[in-house]
C-alpha cells in the first residue's frame, strides 16, 4: 500500500508539459513526412528536442531544425543522429558560423560548391540549403569510403589521413546523439 501511495505521489508531481512546446511539437510532427509513422516522428522529435535544447532554446526553431535535419539526412541516407553530432562539432549549432577556412553554416559547407554546381545564388546560411549540401557531401564521402566512418568524416573535414576530427564527431555522437 505504501508503494502505491508513493507511486501516486510521484506521478502527481510530474509537471504539465509546456503548452508552447506541445503546440510546436504537434506542428512539427504533422509536417514530418520523412518519418514512416507519425508516432516515430513524435518520439524522435521529442527525444532529440530535449538533447538539443541547450544549444537551441527556442522550441519552434529547434523543432523546425530537427525536422529539416531528419528530412535531409533521410534523403541522403545518412543517420540524422550522426548529422547532429557533426553539426555540434562543426558549428555548435550556429546557423551563421563561418570557419577560418571560409566554410559556412550549420554543416560548414565550403562556398566553392555553389559555383561548382552552377548555383551561385544558393544561400548556405539557409538551414535547408546547408543541410542538403552537407548531408549530400557526407553521403558522398561515406560511399567513397564504403561507409567507413573515420575516413569519411576525415574527408568531410578536409583532414583525410588523420583521426582527430572523426574522433570528435564520434565522441559527440556517443555522448549526446546516439539513439
Q: Distance between CA atoms of 93 and 17, rounded to whole angstroms?
A: 25
- Domain for residue 148, yes or no? yes
Is the predicted pLDDT of residue 115 greater than 60, yes or no? yes
Percent of the chain with pLDDT over 70: 83
The answer as to whether 163 is a domain residue is yes
Q: What is the mean pLDDT of the chain?
A: 88
Residue 31 confidence (pLDDT): 54
Residue 1 domain-assigned?
no
pLDDT over threshold 70, residue 18: no
Distance of CA 33 to the CA centre of its chain: 16
Give the pLDDT of residue 54. Answer: 98
Q: Which three cell numbers stand for residue 72?
A: 535531409
Provide the terminal-to-terminal Cα distance of the chain, rounded to the nearest Å: 37
- pLDDT score of 117: 84
CATH of residue 102: 1.10.530.10
pTM of the model: 0.82
Number of domains in the chain: 1
Q: How many CA atoms lie within 13 A of 159 on its CB side?
A: 12
Lowest mean pLDDT among 4-13, 14-23, 75-84, 155-164: 4-13
| Assigned domain for 168 exists | yes
Residue 133 lies in a domain: yes
Burial 24-37 (b: 16+ CB within 10 A, else e): bbeebbeebebbee
Evaluate whether residue 10 is within a structural domain: no
DSSP 173: I
Does residue 4 lie in a domain region?
Answer: no
* Residues 6+ away with beta carbon under 8 Å from 152: 138, 141, 142, 144, 145, 166
Torsion region of 69: left, alpha or beta (phi above 0 gives left; psi -120 to 50 gives alpha) = alpha
- Domain span including residue 114: 18-177
* Lowest pLDDT segment from 31-35, 37-41, 146-150: 31-35
129 in any annotated domain = yes
Amino acid at each position: 500500500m505504501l508503494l502505491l501511495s508513493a507511486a501516486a505521489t510521484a506521478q502527481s508531481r510530474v509537471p504539465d508539459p509546456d503548452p508552447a512546446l506541445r503546440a510546436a511539437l504537434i506542428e512539427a510532427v504533422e509536417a514530418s513526412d520523412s518519418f514512416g509513422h507519425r508516432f516515430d516522428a513524435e518520439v524522435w522529435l521529442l527525444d532529440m528536442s530535449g538533447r538539443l535544447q541547450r544549444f537551441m532554446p527556442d522550441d519552434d526553431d529547434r523543432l523546425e531544425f530537427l525536422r529539416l535535419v531528419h528530412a535531409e539526412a533521410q534523403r541522403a541516407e545518412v543517420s540524422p543522429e550522426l548529422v547532429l553530432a557533426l553539426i555540434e562539432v562543426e558549428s555548435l549549432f550556429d546557423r551563421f558560423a563561418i570557419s577560418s577556412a571560409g566554410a559556412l553554416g550549420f554543416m560548414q559547407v565550403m562556398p566553392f560548391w555553389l559555383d561548382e554546381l552552377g548555383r551561385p545564388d544558393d544561400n548556405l546560411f539557409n538551414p535547408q540549403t546547408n543541410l542538403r549540401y552537407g548531408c549530400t557531401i557526407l553521403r558522398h564521402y561515406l560511399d567513397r569510403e564504403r561507409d567507413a566512418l573515420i575516413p569519411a568524416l576525415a574527408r568531410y573535414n578536409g583532414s583525410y589521413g588523420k583521426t582527430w576530427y572523426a574522433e570528435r564527431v564520434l565522441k559527440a555522437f556517443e555522448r549526446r546523439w546516439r539513439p
